Chains A and B, each alone.
Chain A
Amino acid sequence: VPCVSGDLPKPTNVAFISINMKNILQWNPPEGLQGMEVSYTVQYFIYGQKKWLNKSECRNISRTYCDLSAETSDYEHQYYAKVKAMWGTNCSKWAETGRFYPFLETQIGPPEVALTTDEKSISIVLTAPKKWKKNPEESSISMQQIYSNLKYNVSIYNTKSNRTWSQCVTNHTLVFSWLEPGTLYCVLVESFVPGPPRLTHPSERQCVSTLEDQTTALEVK
């Protein structure tokens, strides 16, 4: 049953939230209708193409988000999306995003961080974040393949000296040697791409202790 358009206020704050090319359209319920049984319908548009396209999984939904990753997976194209609210026989006008350019706007997730230690050193192995993919079976694409100038900001916190310092690297393995034995160090890593500022997502802080000094351990024996 066609609804009467415009009687309802539009959804607000309609925008894409994008991390590693996983592109989620999000919005807030119309003013004054929070908590009511409102449903939503989403459409999207590929800039330069001819018409708005439906997203069948986001027709008459009650949630306030819609995953458009598959529809916007060509990150060198630009997109619009829009959403309208329906309540009973009334519906709102469309609320539209600005032009969304995944290549420049997606946020870069943190790398995977693996730490190993010995007496006086910590080895750090980084694995680049992965681009969103439709099916788990698909082969993974690293964000490094999309952004060849992807870098990592590694910060290391010495819990004994209470000092933190950082290093910017492009390679995926680094070793901090000549550390203090029997000391807890905490590591945190951020991916970043030089260029337009993007929100950053630091990795979980991982702490690891260097082994006790073996020489003193032997003497004690």
Chain B
Amino acid sequence: DGVAVLPAPQNLSVQSTNMKHVLTWSPVTVPEEIVHYSVEYQGEYESLYTSHIWIPSIWCSPTQRPECDITEDITATVSYSLRVRATLGSLTSTWSTLKHRFNQNSTILTPPGMEITMDGFHLLIKLEDLGPHFEFFVSYWRREPGAKEHIKVVRPGVLPVYLETVEPGAAYCVKARTFVKAIGRHSAFSPTECVKVQGEALPL
């Protein structure tokens, strides 16, 4: 005896970190059956101007897993409405809609991973590539009283990026944070890393 009515997915929520957004929900289980789900979204534009239109998610219409990477669906800094329904053969549940609209400006921004190295007397930094949204603000200074803090805007690339030419015997410190122009927000700074330059300190 099949299932007369398919329950709608419950507990929809979005987890968003570093501009990667994942919609999750509680799975609908039917013994010995594989339930599929379809995800659709509506941006603020659709809600205002074409409210009858819902757009199928690029990756999850349909999907078998109770989650959906909606990163490529959320492409503007406006609020989005999201809904999910379950299907099993010809049976289709009603839509479940996310209680609160989602806006990418609520994403959690984590301090970037960074690697500080030297090539001779050249201070270099390699930064975690977090995607095209991200710029990096790198702050660096010579570890001595009253040292001036320098800031450099860096875009990640394949190669380490040159920061500064350093003096033998001195120590230099570096920290970095991300900036996402699309939402106008920074991450916190990464922990500071310091390196000691080989060689004898120069006479004053």
* Direct touch of chains A and B (CB < 8 A): yes
Question: Which A residues fall within an 8 A CB radius of B?
Answer: 153, 155-156, 158, 161, 163-168, 176-180
- Neighbour of A158 across the interface among B119, B155, B165, B166, CB < 8 A: B119
Query: B146: CB under 8 A from chain A?
Result: no
- Which of B119, B155, B166 is within 8 Å of A163, CB to CB? B119
Residues from chain B with a CB closer than 8 A to the CB of A156 are 162
Contact check, B159 vs A166: say whether CB atoms are below 8 A apart: yes
Asked if B7 lies at the interface with its beta carbon under 8 angstroms from chain A, I say: no
**When the two chains form their complex, are residues A166 and B120 in contact, meaning their CB atoms are under 8 A apart?**
no
Q: Are the C-beta atoms of A165 and B159 separated by less than 8 Å?
A: yes
Q: Is B145 in the interface zone, CB < 8 Å from A?
A: no
How far apart sit A164 and B122, CA to CA, in the bound complex (Å)? 11
The residue on B at minimum CB distance from A160 is B120
Q: Apart from A164-B160, A178-B165, what 11 extra A-B contacts exist at CB < 8 Å?
A: A155-B159, A158-B120, A163-B160, A164-B159, A165-B122, A166-B157, A167-B161, A168-B161, A176-B165, A177-B165, A180-B120
Complex-state Cα separation, A153 to B166, whole angstroms: 21
Q: Which chain A residue has the least Cβ–Cβ distance from B123?
A: A165
CB 8 Å contact bits of B171-198 with A (1 = contact, 0 = none): 0000000000000000000000000000
Residue of B nearest to A120 (CB): B121
Query: A207 CA to B121 CA in the complex, in Å?
Result: 20
Bound CA–CA A155/B122 (angstroms): 13
Do A168 and B122 contact each other (CB < 8 Å), given the known contacts A176-B165, A178-B165?
Answer: no
A58: shortest Cβ distance to chain B, in Å? Answer: 39
Query: How many Å lie between the Cα of A167 and that of B164 in the bound state?
Result: 10
**Distance in angstroms between the alpha carbons of A163 and B119 in the assembled complex:** 7
**Smallest CB separation, B152 vs chain A (Å):** 9
Contact of A178 among B121, B155, B161 (CB under 8 A): B121
Query: Interface on B for A, CB 8 Å cutoff?
Result: 119-122, 124, 154-155, 157, 159-162, 165-167
By a CB distance below 8 angstroms, the chain B residues around A176 are 122, 162, 165
* Residue on B nearest A168 in the bound complex, by CB: B155
Whether B157 lies near A178 (C-beta < 8 A) is no
**Whole-angstrom CA separation of A166 from B126 in the bound complex:** 10
The contact of B161 among A166, A179, A180, by CB within 8 Å, is A166
Given A153-B157, A155-B159, A158-B119: A165 and B124 within 8 A (CB)?
yes
| A179-B120, A180-B120 known; A165-B161 Cβ under 8 A | yes
Residues of the A chain whose Cβ atoms lie less than 8 Å from the Cβ of B119 = 158, 161, 163, 165
Could you pull out 20 A-B pairs where Cβ atoms are within 8 angstroms? A153-B157, A158-B119, A163-B124, A164-B159, A165-B119, A165-B122, A165-B159, A165-B160, A165-B161, A165-B162, A166-B159, A166-B162, A167-B162, A168-B161, A176-B122, A176-B165, A177-B165, A178-B122, A178-B165, A180-B120
Question: Chain B residues near A180 (CB, 8 Å)?
Answer: 120
Q: B159: which A residues are within 8 A, CB to CB? A: 155, 164-166
- Nearest A residue to B119 via CB reads A163
Q: How far is the CB of B27 from chain A (nearest CB, A)?
A: 40
A75 CB to nearest chain B CB (Å): 26
Q: Looking at the assembled complex, report how far the CB atom of A207 sits from the nearest CB atom of chain B, in whole angstroms.
A: 16
B134 to chain A, nearest CB (A): 14
Q: Which residue of chain B has the shortest Cβ distance to A151 in the bound complex? A: B155
